Structures are given as structure tokens and as C-alpha cells.
Amino acid sequence: MRNSLSIAKSLILLIASVLIIFGGVILIKAPSTIVLAAAGMFTIALSTIWGIKWNDIQNDLIDNLRTMLPSILILLSVGMLVGSWILSGTVPVMVYYGLKILRPSTFLLTAALICSLMSVMSGTSWGTIGTVGVALMGVSTGLGVPLHFTAGAVVVGAIFGDKLSPLSDTTVLASAVAEVDIVDHIKYMLFTTIPGFFISLVLYLIIGLNYGNGTVGGESLQLILNTLEATFNLNPILLLPPVVVLLLIFKKKPTLPVFAIGIILGCVLAFIFQGNSLLEIANALNKGYTSSTGAPIVDTMLIRGGLNSMLGTVALLIGAVVFGSPLRTAGVINVILDKIKSMTSNSKGVLVSVFLLHGGLFVITGSYYVTFAVLGPMVRPLFDKFGLHRKNLSRTLEDTGTAFAPVIPWSVTGAFIASTLGVPTGEYILYAPMTYLGLVFGLLYMITGYKIAKSDDTEINTTLKGEIA
């Protein structure tokens, strides 16, 4: 029979480990993976000193790593997918055609849609903001459209695509820590994401009507177009891989085989249309696209992908396991869950408590990688206990983390956006309503019970009621 720590020792262990995480992330600004691993090693050491058997901790580590393995394989597949799609010209042709359709009167609306498409296809909001977003800011200057309007449109589009992309590391991570199917997770997020996105698009359409007399221009835009034309053989056939992958994924085909098909298609197109050798293709799968085009802004857009690009996120998942497993072995998780249970008596209370808890932790740390990995596994059993489907948890993590990140100036994402686009958070955030409306709709659904899934996959469209005996 396993030993468990007393309540007092459990609280000491929890508080100490949380202080290590907060101190490492906020004060020292150390990498999240290292901070999680350090907190995990501290937890393991103190637990064993207090009588928890190492074999029990090791068994929990192995079990949790086994649970994470499918997500790790997906992340590695995504790295190879992105590398092959850039080498083949698939990502470049998406950028090229997207930038060609810009029109002054619908610039803001189009900017948001282009960034949405880019993020959905590539799975990275940062890559979209740092490449196409930068180009759109240059176009904005040429059109006379205020930069804070454009920054808001770029952020909304990039975050929208990132949340709903099966290639996104945050989407994969949120579904992994909640242990739900990634397609179910994406579809469920539509309920809190689509309303805010639609409101944002209407706002951009209204604002854009006041700037219909400008002309499309900007050196950044033309430089990207010219460089892409000179570097790649661009044609519509290159859009085949993302079309096939997205079609198969939303038909609920197994994710890993679908990604394998996408990788193979990318490699074949790279060989046929771009004339790459087998060695160049293999290197792209491993290291991503590495060739220089001579244009820094285009290089920033294209030099990415490969297995190596995902190793940091894989290490983060392992770090989360190292941190969370000994807490569960020592019984600390049970203490946290018992405390939450004592504060709430029904499923609505669980939903709201987790919503507020994760939102608060994210505001403090500014890193959803840390909060997803720490809180997700801890509160998972509560959703089972109260008959709630775990996709409620994964959606809450994204609504109070991924989507909310641009609102927090000191968050990693908020700081990146402000420095990359050159617009302070306080100036653009009012024009990025989707980032905070997700919180509003999420909380509204929790209070009313609308679009809240039970563990048997049925939805309650009336106020949540009843308690688990």
C-alpha cells in the first residue's frame, strides 16, 4: 500500500514547489522547462525524505509519460510537417496568394482573415505575427490606416488560427493535459471563439470603410512577393497538402496517419516542383527549412520547422510530468482536490473555480505552457467526479490562456506582440475583442449551463443542476 503525506506536509510541498515555479518564471525568468524540472526534482527529493517510496514515484512517472506519448509523437510529426510544407512551397504559396488579394476598403478584415488562414495552416500565431503581421503593418502605413487597428486585426487572426489549428503546440498541449481528442477539443472551442471572432470581423469591416481611398503599397509587401517568386515555383497545386490534411482531420481520421500523409505529400511536392534532392528533404524534416533568401523578413517567415523545432515543447511535456507525478504519488493532488470540493458542491462550481484559478495563475506567470502543464492534470479528476466532459477543461485552459495572452503586457505572448508589431498592448487590445470576449462567453456558458458537455458527451442546454452523490 502506498504512503501519503499528511495534510501539513502536502501543503508545505505544494507551496514550496509553486514558489519555485513562480520565482523561476517571474523573477529569474528561467526557461519554463528547467523551472518545472527543478520544481519536480525538489518535490521528489522532499517526498522521499518524508517516506514516499521511489519505486512508487517512478511508476507514476512512467505511467504519465506513457499517457503523454501520443502527444509527443504528434508534436514531432508537426515539426516534420511544417519543414516539408515550407520546402515544398506550400507555406510560401499561401503567403503569396494571401498578400495578393489585399484591397484598401477591406484591408483590416482581409488582414484578420489572412492571419487566421496562416495560423490555421501553420499552427503558430508567433510565426504569423512575426512575418505576415509585420508585412501587413507596412501595408497599413502605406494605406494611412492607424497601426493600432492593424495590430488588433493581426492579433485576432493569428490567435484565432492558433487556437483552432491541429498543428498548434498549445492546442495539442491543452488537449493532452486534459486527455481529450484534439478534434473534439477544437470543435468545442468554436462555441467560445467564433462569437468573439465574428464581432471582431464586423468591427474591422466598419472601421475599414473609413480608409477605402488608400492604395496598397509598402516595401515589405513587395519585397516578400518578389522574394517568394524568385525562390519558389509557386502554383495552386502546392495547396494540396493542407487541404488533404484538414479534410481528413475533420473527418475524424487518426491524427498521426493523417500527418504522415501530409508529410509525404510535402516531400513529393518538394521533389517535383522545387527540385530538392532526397538529402535536402531529409534535412528539412530534421532541421526545418534553412536556406537563406537574402531578405531577412522572408527568412524569418520561412526558416522554421523540423523535428528539432519541437524538442523544446517535448521537453516541456516531460518537465510537466516530472513536476506533477510526485505530487500525485505523495497525495498532494488529493489535498488540492479535496479543498476545491469543500468549496463547491456542484459541477457549475467546479467549472467556475477552475476558470478563475487558471486565469489567475496565468495572469501571475504570463506563461500558458506552465499553467497548462501544472493545473491541467491536477483538476482533471474533478471533471470526472462531477460528470463533466474533460473538453470543458481543455476549452477553459485555452480561453483563459492562449486567447487571453495578448491582453497581459508582461506575458510572453503580450511582450512578443508589442515588440514585434511596435504597438503597445494598451493601444491595440481594444481592437482585438476576441482575446477577451472568449472569457465572457465561456463564463456565460458556465453560469447558464449552455453548451456544457457532460462526460457522456451529451450537452446541457439548461442551467446546471444536481450534485454527484
* Backbone angles phi and psi of 400, in degrees to 5: -95, 5
Q: pLDDT tens across 278-287, in order?
A: 999 999 999 9
Tens of pLDDT, residues 417-429:
888 888 998 899 9
Which of 12-16, 197-201, 365-369 ranks highest by mean pLDDT?
Answer: 197-201
Q: Is the pLDDT of residue 161 over 80?
A: yes
Q: Give the number of residues written for the chain.
A: 469
Identify the H or E element spanning 424.
Answer: none
Round to whole Å and give the CA distance between 451 and 108: 31
Predicted local distance difference test score (pLDDT) of residue 462: 38
Mean pLDDT across the chain: 84
Place of cell 527568412: 299
pLDDT tens digits, residue range 103-121?
A: 777 889 999 998 998 888 7
Which amino acid, one-letter code, is at 393?
L
DSSP 194-235: HHHHHHHHHHHHHHHGGGTT-----HHHHHHHHHHHHHS---
Side chain identity at 285, as an amino acid letter? L
Q: Give the confidence band of 256 by pLDDT, cuts at 50, 70, 90.
A: confident
Q: Three-state SS for 51? A: coil
First-last CA distance in the chain: 27
pLDDT in tens, 315-328: 877 887 887 788 87
Single out the residue of 204, 189, 201 nearest to residue 441, CA to CA: 189
pLDDT digits (tens, 9 = 90+) for 339-359: 777 777 788 888 998 998 888
pLDDT band at 393 (very low <50, low <70, confident <90, very high): very high
86 or 255: which leads in pLDDT:
86
Q: Alpha-carbon distance 112 to 158, whole Å?
A: 8
* pLDDT of 365 strictly over 70: no
- Res. 465: pLDDT tops 70: no
State the pLDDT at residue 124. 76
Over 70: is that where the pLDDT of 459 sits? Answer: no
The vertex-53 CA angle with 47 and 59, nearest 5°, equals: 105
Whole-number pLDDT of residue 453:
85
Q: What is the pLDDT of residue 233?
A: 95
- Tell me, what's the pLDDT at 214? 56
- Tens-digit pLDDT profile for residues 257-295: 888 999 999 999 999 999 999 999 999 999 999 998 888
DSSP category for residue 388: B
Phi, psi of 388 (to 5 degrees): -105, 135
- pTM for this entry: 0.71
Give the integer Cα–Cα distance in Å for 405 and 362: 8
